[in-house]
Structure 1
């Protein structure tokens, strides 16, 4: 693995003295990164009441001064499970989404801004019509090849309605909104599923035929918190929802560990997730072969008993999994790499840090895979898989 160091993000505030910076009680390090079509690396992160975008032309060795995504300041969520997201629409427009938290705890609105030229962002829009001060959080941003964009998130409007009617309700719900013009505007939101977990991130990927896939922690009857996989039709409506993991974890709460999903060129779906099995909470990896029935192949645990917040990406037959794990003194950044489609893996330790750190992200540029990690002490770090 090749380590690429960067300029600390905290120094970037000096180049924007007019910005209003809110005081934080703890580091909010939730960040995302993506490679642009021209090969530059873009990262988004919270700074005060703004989402900032950073650009690197040398795979993260150096970074240009940051630019503001939202010109008007507003509250931004930037914890590991609910970080700002970044993606490119099919027409080249740059998209950034985030959750704008309301004053009431665990509530918020899903926001999105678009830059037609990749540089200058429009005023952000709220992608849903529901204005209630409830949970609309943990969005997943998925651009499609036909220039549609789908955002799916955890939504508690049905839970609130059940409370008002004094009826029982399990967990929350998954709602989505579709844009047919590359993220410039969104159609009214609609429900994908009832009874999701409340605070685990939603993940998404494109199936081999381009169909949208969304995966989340679901609350199966009576209270088993395994994962569900939804495949959508071209119009965004649900084609199928299937149970995707089978640890049958009975827990009356949310573990704050969402899954990650990727589909390789053969149509094999690769995933990592966190669940309790045989009384022990562990990170798991598995792959699902193409077909109508979910059958997990090659399931294995990832890391040790303290492994957490795994992510993965694929490129041809390469699979790269990254996670962080506390060893009692420092937080270690670990990876599993496979060159044979997930049949065998080699484990490596990439780095370690003292203090707070974000969840690692695995990102792809052409046939290469990279790990992007933000820490309080070292800021952005990028590791290339040889």
Structure 2
């Protein structure tokens, strides 16, 4: 199996899309069979109120978060900015059911704007310490553009309120990274994708992904005085461990039980040693020389969820344990981390999303031995393919009688929608899914709270119209070494909220079969699509990919993608080998901006095949392409005969066989 570089999917705040390859590849990965689905019981008896726009008071809002205090106070936060721009401010609303008094405060940070990142939103937690004192803590990231730095530097900041959100402390930085040499000393570095948790004993725990030592790793700190001071940062997994590297753009998660055991979860980068080397036909000239220099495709990595535990306030940690061997091979970051919860019986609950082909979607499992082993994975919302989904858990009650709530933005749909499933027997079986968000709108990054009696539920999420999503500026793809990431914008996004009393009539909205997200497959009719050529004698002309009577090998690529550049020699060799028999090879670049860098690469590598340029990524939407490179063989009737995702180098035998069969088979033109 080959690696893919993810495209940004049309979802809030540019989350990266996932990888899709043939279902048959599951066996080659050495993965388990598709995890079992729970027995679905009767429809969930949840009576939701109507959705209302929580961010209406600030005109726009993004990155919502919720926290419920033991005394019943609700805290809700989101990020807004004037005109939906990058000058992020944190808004915190505190209220109590049955009380008309509300406290709303706008918080700013002297270091810079607060980031409205959906996968790394601000976090809230209530800490109740010995003696009954209560603190509401907020953790967030401040972004800073630094000359010569491709990504914004980030400072992880904490503020607290001891009077229910009426007044707030000055912000403090929880990291002690002094390795970057940036302005403001230890404040800024690579500190993001954070988690905040208040343990039963009142300790605040913070985890994040940190790049101070090079590759991304998980770090932790804690505070026993309500966030006034913080302990020294601890690297959770030593650099000598095989699981030391963390997927750099997936959020972390923390949970703690009443005995002081702390659990931490993240998506680990795991070396894949199962993929055999593949042979390739010899190629000559230009890109062929480059191919010889780099050898075979880059090493593949698995991106699976792990859990580690600590019994000494995070000073030392157990070896991470995979919650399930998804064996999802993906050389990119999907921007989709796990969720954790611990019930009073010390049962650990975990939910996550995977892009594993043939079993992509949201899963749940649990551990009754403090994270040493995990039960079989339960599929909550799974399909052949899925865009990234962001799942959140809440648990009320204890043990086998606990109620488990799981909500996520369903990536198996073309337009993501907030979905809820509930288990009333400790995670053994789940009610059927309830769709919480409105149809026809992009609803993402849901969060939830539930009271311990499991009688009141609140879900909030970020929402955009489909027109807003379509008009959003594309995210710079950071695989391009010349690209730089701007500060994130709030955009024309709203924070929605719905509340429910459990035991009423379900308010589900049925999804239609046509709403399912489905990549283009072998046997499908290829959509009509034309591209402007930037190379060869036809430079400047528009070429139709589907042409009656012509066999076409379509490749979607970009100059910033290493695997794409590496496979150019193989594609050009296929063109040289079969062009006399009528094969067209068209490589469509999705590089943004002008075609200059595409032309320069083409000329440098002396490519003879046709090169097209699609800076708007129309081919991505038209062909349901979610990663580069992807390659399709299309016959003269426009039917997809063969497809591969990732570097074609490992699939050359199949490509040559499919091409030869297509070229010798007479084409009966459709009339």
User: TM-score with structure 1 length normalisation?
Assistant: 0.85
1:168 is aligned to: none
Q: 1:122 aligns with which of 164, 169, 179?
A: 169
Give me the whole-angstrom Cα distance separating, in 1, the residues matched to 2:252 and 2:308: 11
Aligned to 2:67: 34
8 Å CA contact 2:127, 2:199 repeated in 1: yes
Distance 1:331 1:299, change over 3 A: closer
Of 339, 344, 355, 1:276 maps to: 355
- Rate the CA distance shift 1:154–1:327 in 2: closer, same or farther, 3 A: closer
Query: Greater shift after overlay, 243-252 or 210-219?
Result: 243-252
The 1:365/1:89 distance shift into structure 2, 3 A limit, reads same
| Alignment match, 1:257 | 336
Picking from 140, 144, 148, the partner of 1:98 is: 140
349, 361, 372: which one pairs with 2:459?
Answer: 372
CA distance, structure 1, for counterparts of residue 216 and residue 74 of structure 2 = 35
The one-character-per-residue Cα deviations of 1:122-148 (angstroms, maximum 9, x if unpaired) are 110111122535320011112233332
Structure 1 unaligned segments of length 5 or more: list them. 15-26, 160-170
Which structure shows the higher strand fraction? 1
Residue of structure 2 equivalent to 1:89: 127
Which string of whole-angstrom CA distances, capped at 9 and with x for unpartnered residues, describes residues 210-240 of structure 1?
Answer: 3111100011234221122111122322231
Unaligned runs of 5+ in 2: 1-45, 82-87, 181-187, 238-243, 273-300, 465-493, 503-671
8 Å contact 2:200–2:257 — kept in the other structure?
no
| Structure 2 contact 380–421 (Cα < 8 Å) conserved | no
Secondary structure (helix, strand or coil) at the match of 1:12 reads helix
Q: For 1:351, what is the secondary structure of its paired residue? A: coil
State how 1:15-30 maps to structure 2 within 5 Å.
Answer: 29-30=62-63
What is the aligned partner in structure 2 of residue 13 from structure 1? Answer: 58
User: Which residue of structure 1 aligns with residue 419 of structure 2?
Assistant: 334
Name the stretch that deviates more: 191-200 or 305-314: 305-314
Q: Distance in 1 between matches of 2:349 and 2:413?
A: 30
Match of 1:230 among 304, 308, 311: 308
Q: CA 1:291–1:11 in 2, change beyond 3 Å: closer, same or farther?
A: closer
Cα distance in structure 1, aligned partners of 2:358 and 2:213: 32
The answer to whether 1:152 aligns with 2:172 is: no
Partner residue in 2 for 1:322: 407
| 2:103 is the alignment partner of 1:56 | no
1:336-367 CA distance string (max 9 Å, x none): 11111111111222332544434111212222
- For the 8 Å contact 1:323–1:333, the answer to whether it is kept is yes
* DSSP-derived class of the 1:183 partner: coil
C-alpha contact (below 8 Å) 1:12/1:66 kept by paired residues: no
Name 2:154's counterpart in structure 1.
108
Relative to its length, the structure with more helix (as a share) is 2
1:300-322 CA-to-partner distances (Å, cap 9, x unmatched) read 24254447211111111111111
Q: What CA distance in whole angstroms lies between the structure 2 residues aligned with 1:71 and 1:251?
A: 37
Cα gap change, 1:67 to 1:247, in 2 (>3 Å) = same
Deviation, 1:151, is: 0.8
Give the Å deviation of 1:56.
Answer: 3.1
Q: Could you say if the C-alpha distance between residues 264 and 10 of structure 1 is closer, same or farther in structure 2, counting changes exceeding 3 Å?
A: closer
Residue 183 of structure 1 is matched in structure 2 by: 227
Taking the aligned partners of 2:396 and 2:50, their CA distance within structure 1 comes to 24
1:202 aligns with 2:246: no
Query: Is residue 295 of structure 1 aligned with residue 374 of structure 2?
Result: yes
- Are 2:429 and 1:344 aligned? yes
Distance 1:277 1:10, change over 3 A: closer
- The RMSD of aligned alpha carbons is 2.7
Which residue of structure 2 aligns with residue 69 of structure 1? Answer: 107
The aligned counterpart of 1:285 is 364
Larger mean CA deviation between 247-256 and 351-360 belongs to 351-360
Greater Cα offset, 368-377 or 181-190: 368-377
TM superposition shift of 1:326: 5.9
Distance 1:128 1:195 in 2: 19
CA drift of 1:42 comes to 1.3
1:89/1:3 Cα in 2 relative to 1: closer, same or farther (>3 Å)? same
Q: Which moved more, 1:62-71 or 1:146-155?
A: 62-71
What CA distance in whole angstroms lies between the structure 2 residues aligned with 1:74 and 1:271? 34
The answer as to whether partners of 2:52 and 2:498 remain within 8 angstroms in 1 is: no
User: Taking CA–CA contacts closer than 8 Å with sequence separation of 6 or more, which of the two structures ends up with the larger relative contact order?
Assistant: 2
Q: Does 1:310 align with 2:391?
A: yes
More displaced stretch, 362-371 vs 171-180:
362-371
Partner of 1:30: helix, strand, or coil?
strand
